[in-house]
């Protein structure tokens, strides 16, 4: 039988391998050393890169935490300073609304404003304006009989909004002193609820700038206080042109604040294009946001120095390792050259290749198993079915009028037809244990372990219909299309002692199918 002869040839081929294995062993040793050296170098490089990346992330995270803590501290400071001024305004509005601002009350109100202003270092001044914007009283002792503040943003806001809460306006320059100030104001009402004027507290921007400048933010760090409408209230470093500028298109208002009232990130500034590590937080109770940021390049400066030092040390080690590795590999190659006998290796290799060619089990045209693989497989499956008393079925498939197809369309078209039918057969046998083979010429075989004749007939019909539905043109055929005939046989231990008996039964059924008109499946009797 075919199977034992192939085993004998394999054993013969194996007997010729020891010498070749001895010769190739030295080459494998060299390759192993090269692989080991490359693996060590790559591992060391990967470790350095991984450590450098982790260190970089740690540096950034550390500064994000620092900026978050700083933003929280500065937000608390801003909230406290504004709250103090707002408390004075609340008391002032209550006094004005109850006592009025007549000639008798005005001197006492003036003294009160001066006394309250002296209590808070951040206060630039306290002011009271009537419903027309005229100065009624102020803490600075300024006498401006013709002054009018009805054009200021805070006055217009309170005149048009009945809300009694505090209002923080944009930063402005004081008309009385020319200094930059932040305004906190409240509305004053007549007893009937009509607008009666504005009580105003002004805070020095320099109060915040002195604090911000005292914090080490590097050469390019910033601390900013923004209003809810995305305008700059104060920013360190201070530039007059930036006061009141809008950053509505910046990442703080487009990306960060929509996600939460506090947080950290690494973003690019819309004002100067610098990438910074940022911490931000809303000021509790007031429409303000604190923003503290360090230049990312400055944050990573120390990390770069550490990484460059580590990289230099590793590069030196890799260089030393490479020199020793090169010398070792060179010595091993010289030794291999002395030991190798090229002619004998070539002869043994040719002999092994010839043996391997005998083991080729795939049909080159269709990609299916070839006849040799079929013989081995069906012999093994018949033996298994006999031992385990399991079912086994075989399909023999023949392309109808294939010679006419070849004569009419040519051999290239015939080869393509066989490839298409092979693909159809493969698509219709899904189980891993089944085998499809090219039996010879235009004839195919399908072995179906664990399948009786009923199941095999169903598979045969699926294949037959699939070939017909593929619509491969065959003008010389009976139906104008390429069709197949199939013989179906199931293994019977009583009458089929050898694999050839099962093949013969399926072949006879195929003959009946072809003699009965073709394009049909017939089960062996």
User: 336: how many CB neighbours lie within 10 A of its CB?
Assistant: 16
Residue 441 pLDDT > 80: yes
Q: Kindly tell me the number of DSSP H helices and DSSP E strands found in the chain.
A: 14, 16
pLDDT in tens, 308-327: 888 888 888 888 888 888 88
Say how far apart CA 301 and CA 56 lie, in whole Å. Answer: 10
pLDDT in tens, 19-60: 555 556 667 777 888 888 888 888 888 888 998 889 888 888
Element (H, E) at 381: helix 371-388
With beta carbons less than 8 A apart as the criterion, state whether 155 and 129 touch.
yes
Residue 455 within any structural domain of the chain: yes
End-of-domain residue from the set 174, 206, 238? 206
Q: Is residue 343 packed enough to be buried (19+ CB in 10 Å), middle (13-18) or exposed (0-12)?
A: exposed
Residue 232 within any structural domain of the chain: no
Residue 5 pLDDT > 80: no
CATH number, domain containing residue 159: 3.30.450.20
Residue 181 within any structural domain of the chain: yes
pLDDT in tens, 484-509: 999 999 998 877 778 999 999 999 99
pLDDT in tens, 240-281: 888 889 999 999 999 999 999 999 999 998 888 899 999 999
Residue 8 within any structural domain of the chain: no
End-of-domain residue from the set 163, 186, 206? 206
pLDDT in tens, 185-209: 999 999 998 999 999 999 999 888 8
Residue 404 within any structural domain of the chain: yes
Tell me what the mean pLDDT of segment 278-289 comes to: 92
Residue 154 within any structural domain of the chain: yes
| Total number of domains constituting the chain | 2
Residue 501 within any structural domain of the chain: yes
- Nearest Cα neighbor of 78 from 185, 225, 215 is 225
- Nearest Cα neighbor of 205 from 190, 183, 175, 230 is 183
End-of-domain residue from the set 206, 234, 265? 206
Q: Which residues span the domain enclosing 202? A: 100-206
Q: Is the pTM of this model over 0.85?
A: no
pLDDT confidence of residue 10? 42
CATH number, domain containing residue 421: 3.30.70.270
Counting every residue written for the chain, the total comes to 525
Q: Dihedral (C-alpha) 511, 515, 516, 521: value to the nearest 10 degrees?
A: 20
pLDDT confidence of residue 443? 95
Residue 360 pLDDT > 80: no
pLDDT confidence of residue 15? 46
Residue 363 pLDDT > 70: yes
Q: Dihedral (C-alpha) 144, 85, 74, 230: value to the nearest 10 degrees?
A: -60
Residue 229 within any structural domain of the chain: no
């Amino acid at each position: 039988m075919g199977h034992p002869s192939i085993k004998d040839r394999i054993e013969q081929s194996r007997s010729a391998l020891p010498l070749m294995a001895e010769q190739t062993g030295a080459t494998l040793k060299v390759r192993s050393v090269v692989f080991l050296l490359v693996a060590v170098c790559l591992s060391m490089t990967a470790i350095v890169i991984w450590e450098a990346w982790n260190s970089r992330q740690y540096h950034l995270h550390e500064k994000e935490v620092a900026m978050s803590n700083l933003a929280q501290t500065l937000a608390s400071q801003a909230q406290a300073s504004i709250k103090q001024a707002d408390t004075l305004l609340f008391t002032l509005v209550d006094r004005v609304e109850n006592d009025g601002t007549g000639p008798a009350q005005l001197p006492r109100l003036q003294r009160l404003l001066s006394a309250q202003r002296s209590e808070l270092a951040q206060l630039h001044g306290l002011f009271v304006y009537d419903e027309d914007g005229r100065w009624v009283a102020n803490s600075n002792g300024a006498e401006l009989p013709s002054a009018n503040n009805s054009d200021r943003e805070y006055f217009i806001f309170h005149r048009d909004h009945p809300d009694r809460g505090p209002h923080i306006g944009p930063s402005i320059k004081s008309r009385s002193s020319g200094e930059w100030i932040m305004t906190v104001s409240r509305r004053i009402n007549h007893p009937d609820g009509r607008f009666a004027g504005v009580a105003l507290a002004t805070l020095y921007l320099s109060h915040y700038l002195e604090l911000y400048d005292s914090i080490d933010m590097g050469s390019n760090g910033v601390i900013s206080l923004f209003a809810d409408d995305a305008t700059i209230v104060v920013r360190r470093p201070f530039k007059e042109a930036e006061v009141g500028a809008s950053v509505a298109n910046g990442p703080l208002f487009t990306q960060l604040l929509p996600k939460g009232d506090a947080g950290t990130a690494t973003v690019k500034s819309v004002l100067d294009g610098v990438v910074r590590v940022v911490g931000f937080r809303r000021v509790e109770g007031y429409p303000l946001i604190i923003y503290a940021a360090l230049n990312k390049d400055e944050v990573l400066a120390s990390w770069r120095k550490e990484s460059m030092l580590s990289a230099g040390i590793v590069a030196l080690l890799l260089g030393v390792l490479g020199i020793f590795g090169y010398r070792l590999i060179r010595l091993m190659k010289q030794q291999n050259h002395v030991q190798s006998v090229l002619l004998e290796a070539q002869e043994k290799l040719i002999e092994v290749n010839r043996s391997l060619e005998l083991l080729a089990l795939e049909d080159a045209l269709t990609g299916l198993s070839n006849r040799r693989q079929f013989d081995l497989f069906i012999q093994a499956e018949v033996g298994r079915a006999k031992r385990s008393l399991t079912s086994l079925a075989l399909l023999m498939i023949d392309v109808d009028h294939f010679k006419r197809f070849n004569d009419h369309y040519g051999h290239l078209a015939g080869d393509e037809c066989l490839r298409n039918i092979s693909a159809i057969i493969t698509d219709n046998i899904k189980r891993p244990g089944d085998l499809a083979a090219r039996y010879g010429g235009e004839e195919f075989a399908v072995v179906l372990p664990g399948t009786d004749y009923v199941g095999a007939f169903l598979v045969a019909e699926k294949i037959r219909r699939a070939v017909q539905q593929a619509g491969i043109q065959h003008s010389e055929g009976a139906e104008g299309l390429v069709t197949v005939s199939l013989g179906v046989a199931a293994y019977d231990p009583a009458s089929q002692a050898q694999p050839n008996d099962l093949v013969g039964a399926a072949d006879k059924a195929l003959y009946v199918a072809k003699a009965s008109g073709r394009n049909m499946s017939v089960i062996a009797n």
